[in-house]
Amino acid sequence: MTAKSDANAIPSVWAREQREVQQPALNRAAIVREAVLMLDAEGIDALSMRKLGARLKAGATSLYRHVATKEELMELAVDEVCAEILVPSPQRAREDWRTAVSEAALSFRGTALDHPWLASVLGQAGLAYLGPNLMSFSDRLAALFAAAGFPEPSRAIDTVLGYVIGMSTTEAAWLTTVARSGETEAGFIARLMPAARVAVADHEHLTEAYAPVEDVDPAEIREVKFAYGLEVVLDGLALRLPPAA
């Protein structure tokens, strides 16, 4: 059971007229919260309206009264977790725009790692960017770059988010693989390294990357890599600032 089809309708929950549904025991907010918990625990492939309904002790038909499709549910879930991303005030950007932008980027990365499915579906979840939380995030980020003096804030935003989403997608996929192994990240790497070193033995420029790292925290390595790339991105953006800024 889905919403009435319309060939001219925009396929997004944010573009569809919302109807009030009198069902106090089940509402859209509760459905979305449970969907996020399910996505965090089991991943995108495990999410279905039937399984979600079972978790909520309701039939899939009951869910469809609040959310028309699974695609709409994903839009709502994306917007729900984007409320967790913190963006400093424009005043912070006037004082030190690099630090302010770095804090926003790090908060985005943290949210993406807390919800490993997020980064990989941002570009696929319909028109999720029309949601109120993502709209608010984008507006606050635009205010940050405008306060820093960037003449075209949207281009600076696209540059930073392109880097953050790309890195977070790769990092979340890696951590998902580790989690499925049932091992710690350090333990998983230690078990993988012998085979990896054999694989790079004939590739001199790759050998250094697989040097012993037993005494280094894997999370710290990932943080250093992310910070390095972010600094490079900000270095490039700094060249686009007008002299007065």
pLDDT in tens, 182-236: 999 999 998 988 898 888 888 888 887 776 666 779 999 999 999 999 999 999 9
Which amino acid is it at 187?
G
142 versus 60: which is more confidently predicted?
142
- At 19-76, the pLDDT tens digits run 655 445 689 999 999 999 999 999 888 899 999 999 998 887 888 889 888 888 998 9
Report the pLDDT value the prediction gives residue 69, as an integer from 0 to 100: 87
- Assign 1 a pLDDT band (cuts: 50, 70, 90): very low
Average pLDDT of the segment spanning 150-171: 94
> Is residue 84 over pLDDT 90?
yes
Query: Mean pLDDT across the chain, nearest whole number?
Result: 87
Q: How far is CA 141 from CA 11, 101, 102, 129, in A?
A: 26, 8, 11, 14
Report the pLDDT value the prediction gives residue 8, as an integer from 0 to 100: 67
- CATH fold for the domain made of 13-82: Arc Repressor Mutant, subunit A (1.10.10)
Report the Cα 240 to chain-centroid distance in Å: 27
- 218 vs 223: CA distance, rounded Å: 9
Average pLDDT of the segment spanning 176-184: 93
Provide the H-helix boundaries in the chain: 28-42, 49-55, 60-64, 70-82, 90-114, 118-121, 132-148, 153-181, 185-200, 204-207, 218-238
Report the pLDDT value the prediction gives residue 197, as an integer from 0 to 100: 85
- Assign 4 a pLDDT band (cuts: 50, 70, 90): very low
Q: Note whether 109 and 168 are within 8 A (CB).
A: yes
Domains 13-82 and 90-238 share a fold: no
Model's pTM, two decimal places?
A: 0.84
The domain locations on the chain are 13-82, 90-238
Contact residues for 104 (Cβ-Cβ < 8 A; gap 6+): 85, 86, 87, 88, 141, 144, 160
Which amino acid is it at 76?
L
Percent with pLDDT over 90 in the chain: 58
CATH architecture assigned to 90-238: Orthogonal Bundle (1.10)
> Is residue 5 over pLDDT 60?
no
Report the pLDDT value the prediction gives residue 18, as an integer from 0 to 100: 62
3-state secondary structure of 136: helix
Task: Give Rg (Cα) of the chain.
Answer: 21
> Is residue 160 over pLDDT 90?
yes
> Is residue 17 over pLDDT 70?
no
Selection from 118-132, 144-158, 193-207 with the highest mean pLDDT: 144-158
